[in-house]
Structure 1
Amino acid sequence: MSNDSQADLESEISRTRAELAATIDELTTRLHPKTQAKNAADAAKQAADDAKDFVTGQGLPGVDNRDRNAKVLLATAAAGVALVVAIVVRATRS
């Protein structure tokens, strides 16, 4: 094996190790519970903003994931209101 090919091989191994370390660092960051919680909180805030925009007549954002999240939030809110109304009606009839 010549010195050039050995040096090339060692250089490739070093690059591969660096790429692997960077990938592991990225996965560790993405999968960390605090990162997951922050991402979930950000998505909930975005869904609330999108739902508010829809209710005020500005429409949905046109992004599938955000549309779905806003619709789920609106449906959950509607179900909560319906539940409260049913409890109040039942309580007044008793």
Structure 2
Amino acid sequence: MSEPTTPENRTPAPTARELEAEVARSRAELGDTLDQLVTRLSPSYQASQLAQSTKQAASDLGAFVTGGGLPETEPRRSRNAKILLGAVAAGLALATLAVVRAARR
């Protein structure tokens, strides 16, 4: 007796063991994916990533200020350094404005 075939391409249908193995592989992959998502969405992971990005931006900004330029091979790092530079400039402008207003009173 021949093996059952699928109607689409006349190839042998998978056996019960093959199907069980495929289900087990899929479950393992799904479990790994869920673990990665839980890790990436956790507040502590997000905070550590933000801290790491901020430290890197500060380092890149320091290199830029001392004449080293911005990282050209990684646009995200360059953008983060520019954002940090803008935040520092805005903070200095607000502090200057506060001092000038206080001096007028």
TM-score by length of 2: 0.80
Structure 2 segments unaligned to the other structure (5+ residues): 5-13
Which AA in structure 1 matches 2:91? G
- 1:16, distance to aligned residue in structure 2 (A): 0.7
Deviations 1:10-65 (A, max 9, x none): 11111111111111111111111111110111111111111111111100011211
Map of 1:78 onto structure 2: 89
Map of 1:68 onto structure 2: 79
Which AA in structure 2 matches 1:37? A
Map of 1:37 onto structure 2: 47
Which AA in structure 2 matches 1:66? R
Give identity over the alignment, percent: 51
Return the alpha-carbon distance in structure 1 between the equivalents of residues 98 and 38 of structure 2: 46
Q: Verify: 1:88 aligned to 2:99, yes or no.
A: yes
Map of 1:47 onto structure 2: 57
Map of 1:5 onto structure 2: 15
Please identify the structure whose Cα radius of gyration is greater.
Answer: 2
Aligned residues: 93
Q: Which has the higher helix share?
A: 1
